[in-house]
Amino acid sequence: MRGRAAALALALLATGLPVAAQTVSGCAFEDRNGNGVREADEPSVPGVPVELFGTRDASGAYDQTIATGADGAFSFSPGNGCYLLLPGDPPGWRFSGARSDSFPEGTAGYSFPVGRPRFAKLDGGIASLKAGLLRFSSMGDSIAWNWNSCFYTSSFWYSKQIQARLQCVAPAASVTLDQAAVKGEHTDDLLVDDADDLNNVFRVVEAQPRYVAISMIGNDLLGVDPSGTPTQDQINRAVAEVLDSRQNLQEAISALVSEIPGADVALNSLYDNLAYDCYSGSSSTFHRQWLPIVDRILRDLAWGQARRVSINEVAAEFAHEDQAGSCFGFDGMICRDLFQTDNIHPNNNGYTILREKLWEADGGVSLGSKDALSRTSIAADFGFLRRVRRLLPTAWETSGGAAVTDPEAALDDGDGGAATAIALGIGTEELRLSGFPDWYDEDRIVRAIAGVRYRTAGTVQDDFYRMEASVTGQFRPPAGHAYTPTDWNYYTPIVGGGGPGQPPENPDYSQARVLARPNVATYREVSATLTKNPTLPSGASDYEWPPVHQDDLSSAAVRVVSAPVAGTAGNDLYRVELDAAWIDLYGWEAPRPPEAADLRIERLPDGTIEASFEALPGAARYNLYVGSLSTLLAGQYDHGSAAPAGPFCAAPVVDAGDGRLKIALAPAAQPSADSYWLVTGHVDDVESPAGARSDGTEIDRSQSVCR
Amino acid sequence: MGVGTWRGVALAALVGWPVATMSAAGPVEGTFLLVEQRYGNGDWNLASRDEPLRIEFRREGGVVAGRVWAGGDSSAASRWPAFANDAGLLPVEDVSVKEDASTGEVIARYRVRPSPTDDLVLEISESYRLVESGQALVGEMTVRFFVEGADRGGFALHRRFERER
């Protein structure tokens, strides 16, 4: 039904006929693959509050909130005007993000200057406008500045356009713009504590804007991006900059999110037009291979913040270049001035696209004459991902001489704020937390977020600390490692930027005074999307990004580690106080099968023991666990990896008749002491419960090791 | 942008031109084709193959004078230094052109106010010198951005021209 409505609207638009409906409609759905696009098998999410707030051309203010229906749909009929559309996150859910498919110019359905709509939302924007004040800070480099050598427009043109649109939404409010960006700067500059401009988190945090947009082109790569067929040394150097940029942006954005309560933050893709400039034939192996990775890094970086940050899929609107050699360039969007002093920045059409993408990322809706295409109906779908589980570490260890007090406190997120204190020095002091539960096999993980809640005591002077997560527990590659597109992602930065002198082989801003916000007086939550290396199946056009899997969790770790910069002994008398660390799993849950019922044990004359039980419908395999009776009588279980016999995973079963199956255990395989026995089965790779205690609570799932 | 405007600017610049002297690589004279243009230390060559840029230096009364054009039609050349967007030339102001007597390097400095509605002022310098063989011209174009007098960043283009004549 919705598909037909969308097709009708598109047809009317294409033929230039007026659309009388003047509607803002869409749906909320469970985005089970996290791509922002609703697929046929993705369920609706009813009951999501959706607010449309703005000003009608004909009759002034408009502010309505409705809940999505049973089919997830919502629809407003406000008339032409300018609005912000805001679906609330249902409790326990998180907006999955704007659609992330590629529809470049020339693709069917693409209409300059808007392209495929990629709606995100400002979570606090409407509230700020209602309060009468929205201060908007435009940070970044030449892309935020709106620079090009074609000079069609004034500086900060598209930010001023967004400012004007926000003002249109709420004419009575004051909407101001900080023109903070500085051309030519790297991501490091966002972390430099200086007073020359507003293009750093220190000054922006002081200014406390309600909306911060960071737009960057990728100057970090400017001096190191190899052309032609690069050497491994060139690749390693460039990848070091990519990873440094990720760390810098994680630090900058997480500081903005945590230090400006309630403010909305948006990140314009750090796109690199050289990557997609394929008309000229200058596209290089490095750009083709690595720029899609950079784009994905940025999407993950935005999504994993403690408060989700909007990401604008600018590159997708400009072009698409894949790993199979296909290329849809966007040469027509680049400023080619007469004397060729540019050849790198968007022209006015390119910046118009940026304007539209930023507006869509705000949840901005213009109907009628105020819309770039004079549309009078807009459809915007919003996908959501549910947090299915928060995993806490169960183990800790120190290394490098780290002094730690109350280490168990960091393993407990319900201890009222009790913290593990870590005194870090100028060496390799480290506290590592691991042992994340890996047995919740019904969880279908789409994304995972690693987070910490911490503060510092004392003052950090010139030697800092870092927090990071790793899926494998190996936080850095071995020395001399050769980075490849499918082997580079060894850690996820959470806290602690690249810092002065990073990366060591190509330091940016080595003379800068401070490149981080190290002193944190009160508890601060910071998080980041936990990611793995991409894969590239043979012949595939695009990378695949495998989500974190249960199997990864047993090796995953979060660590707090010294990050000495100056190496000055004795003057950094501070402690990092870690209240908790966690991994949040977002996705959905497959149904768990019931217990294997009516277990009966029988010893045969030849000493064989048969365990028979009722077959589980749909079970593909069964497991037999054997534990020590003495352990059970002590109130514990030991049928897992420390079992007195077995465990017998995927044990051979035979038909016992009457819908029953049996597993036979020969004398040699049986335990030598009194024991308890359990049988489980797997349905769609989800293991059935091992049973319940007498009080009804489920038997320790960590013991079910046949995964 | 009319012809008269840049002539007026160039006239002011002529006052500051020194008499040319020889450098080790010889005076900057001849016609050169832009073959390399890179941002900063970047590895990417951004020189256009479709509309190649040419710059020509010659002696006029003992001082160096230049002109620049894109594409093959030299009749469309503009007096150097010049700045343009893709719609045409922009006025250049406060032009100074010098020739370093010891190195033979030619240096132009000028300002551009790209938008009448904006406070942005570009401070630009271009410097070129011959390589030892005399067969190429190398140099740098730096563009700094000023808003209400405050430096708001910039960029540098590294250029290499090869001699045509």
CB contact under 8 A, B88 and A338: yes
Helix, coil or strand: residue A435: coil
Chain B environment of A337 (Cβ under 8 Å):
84-86
Which residues, 6 or more positions from A559, have their beta carbon under 8 angstroms from its beta carbon? A430, A431, A432, A433, A467, A468, A469, A470, A475
Quote the pLDDT of residue A497: 65
Q: Residue A355 class from Cβ within 10 Å (0-12 exposed, 13-18 middle, 19+ buried)?
A: buried
Gap between the Cα atoms of A400 and A563, Å rounded: 12
Instruction: Say if CB B25 and CB B104 are below 8 A apart.
Output: yes
pLDDT in tens, A599-610: 999 999 999 999
Q: How many CA atoms lie within 13 A of A226 on its CB side?
A: 18
pLDDT band at A503 (very low <50, low <70, confident <90, very high): confident
- Is B142's pLDDT higher than 90? yes
> Which of B40, B86, B89 has the CB atom closest to A335's CB atom?
B86
* Token representation of residue A669: 């395989």
**DSSP 8-state assignment for residue A426:** S
- A102 falls in which pLDDT band (50, 70, 90)? confident
- Can you give the pLDDT at residue A666? 95
User: Three-state DSSP class for A654?
Assistant: strand
Joined tokens for residue B51 = 């509309």
The pLDDT value recorded for residue A329 is 62
Are A611 and A642 within 8 A, CB to CB?
A: no
Closest residue to A150, CB basis, from B86, B118, B150: B86
pLDDT at A283: 64
The β-bridge relationship of strands A420-423 and A575-589 is antiparallel
Residues of B with CB under 8 A from a CB of A: 34, 37, 39-49, 51, 53, 68, 70, 82-90, 114-115, 117-118, 120, 141, 143, 145, 147, 150, 152-155, 157
Query: Contacts of residue A151 in chain B, CB cutoff 8 Å?
Result: 85, 90, 114-115
The residue in chain A having the minimum alpha-carbon distance to the alpha carbon of residue B81 is A339
Q: Is A225 on the interface with B (CB under 8 A)?
A: yes
Minimal C-alpha gap between B88 and chain A (Å): 7
| Residue A669: pLDDT over 90 | yes
Please, what is the average pLDDT of chain B? 81
Pair type for strands A621-628 and B120-130: unpaired
Please give the pLDDT value at position A40: 94
pLDDT, residue B3, reads: 28
Output the pLDDT for position A184: 87
Q: State pLDDT tens for residues A204-248.
A: 999 999 999 999 888 888 878 887 889 999 999 999 999 999 999
CA of B90, closest CA in chain A: separation in Å? 10
Q: Tell me whether A70 touches chain B (CB under 8 Å).
A: no
How many C-beta atoms surround the C-beta of residue A376 within 10 A?
21
Convert the pLDDT of each residue in A587-596 to its tens digit.
999 999 999 9
Q: Please give the average per-residue pLDDT across A575-585, as a whole number.
A: 96
B104-115 tens-digit pLDDT: 899 999 999 988
Beta partners for residue A580, in sequence order: A453
**Does residue A507 carry a pLDDT above 50?**
yes
The alpha carbon of A409 is separated from its chain's Cα centroid by a whole number of angstroms, namely 27
Buried b (16+ CB within 10 A) or exposed e, A98-112: bbbebbbbeeeeeeb
What interface predicted TM-score (ipTM) does this complex get? 0.75
Classify residue A278 by its DSSP letter. Answer: T
Q: How far is A550 from chain B (nearest CA, A)?
A: 42
Does A350 touch chain B if contact means CB atoms closer than 8 Å?
no
Residue A110 has pLDDT above 80, yes or no: no
Hey, is the C-beta of A183 within 8 angstroms of any chain B C-beta? yes
| Interchain contact, B152 vs A197, CB within 8 Å | yes
Residue in B43, B85, B154 nearest the CB of A151: B85
Is A274's Cβ below 8 Å from some Cβ in B? yes
The most confident of the ranges A33-42, A273-282, B38-47 is A33-42
- Look at A339 and B42 and tell me if their CB atoms are within 8 Å: no
Instruction: Give CA separation, A376 vs A62, A87, A112, A146, in Å.
Output: 16, 20, 17, 28
Residue of B nearest to A281 (CA): B49
Q: What pTM value is reported for the model?
A: 0.89
Cross-chain CB nearest to A225 (options B37, B43, B155): B43
| B1-20 average pLDDT score | 32
Which pLDDT does position A274 carry in this prediction? Answer: 62
CA distance B155 to chain A (A): 6
Can you give the pLDDT at residue A330? Answer: 66
CB-based contact A623:A648 (threshold 8 Å): yes
pLDDT at A20: 52
Rounded to whole angstroms, the Cα distance separating B149 from B111 reads: 13
Where residue A21 falls among pLDDT bands split at 50, 70, 90? low
Nearest CB to B157; choose among A145, A155, A341: A341
Q: Which pLDDT score, from 0 to 100, does residue A282 have?
A: 57
Residues A340, B48: C-beta atoms closer than 8 Å: yes
d(CA A549, CA A503): 30
Chain B CA closest to residue A222: B42
**Confidence category of residue A657, pLDDT binned at 50, 70, 90:** very high
Query: A284-298, A380-394, B125-139: which has the minimum mean pLDDT?
Result: A284-298
Whole-Å CA distances, A335 to A84, A339, B87: 32, 11, 11
Q: Kindly give, in sequence order, each residue whose CB lies less than 8 Å from that of residue A190, ignoring residues fewer than 6 positions away.
A: A139, A199, A200, A201, A214, A248, A249, A252
Inter-chain residue contact A142 with B155, CB threshold 8 Å: yes
**What percent of chain A is modeled with pLDDT above 70?**
92
B41, B84, B154 ranked by CB distance to A339: nearest: B84
Calculate the average pLDDT of chain A: 89
Decide if B120 and A154 are in contact by the 8 Å CB cutoff.
Answer: yes
What's the rounded Cα separation, in Å, for the pair A413 and A395? Answer: 14
- Predicted pLDDT at A17: 40
Per-residue confidence band for A13, with pLDDT thresholds at 50, 70 and 90 = very low
Tokens 């395999």 found at:
A621
User: What digits encode the pLDDT tens for the residues A288-315?
Assistant: 899 889 989 999 999 999 999 998 877 7
Judged against a pLDDT cut of 80, whether residue A183 lies above it is answered with yes
Rounded to an integer, the average pLDDT of A338-356 is: 86
- In chain A, % of residues over pLDDT 90: 69
How far apart CA A247 and CA A301 sit, in angstroms, is: 9
Of residues A311, A246, A221, A220, the one with CA closest to residue A497: A246
Inter-chain touch B155–A182, beta carbons under 8 Å: no
Given an 8 Å threshold on Cβ–Cβ distance, is A227 in contact with B45? yes
Phi, psi of A541 (to 5 degrees): -85, -35
- In the predicted model, is pLDDT for residue A11 greater than 50? no
Which helix (H) or strand (E) element contains residue A254? helix A232-259
Helix H or strand E segment including A128: helix A125-130
What pLDDT is stored for residue A202 in this prediction? 93
Q: Degrees (nearest 5) of the Cα angle A660, A663, A666?
A: 150
Q: A670 — contact with chain B (CB < 8 Å)?
A: no
How much is the average pLDDT of A520-538?
96
In 10 A of CB A81, how many CB atoms? 24
- B68/A154 Cβ within 8 A: no
Which pLDDT band, with edges at 50, 70 and 90, does B85 fall under? Answer: confident
Residue B145 to residue A343: CA distance in whole angstroms: 18
pLDDT tens profile A542-555: 999 999 999 999 99
The band of A1, judged by pLDDT with boundaries at 50, 70 and 90, is very low
Are residues B45 and A282, on separate chains, in Cβ contact within 8 Å? yes
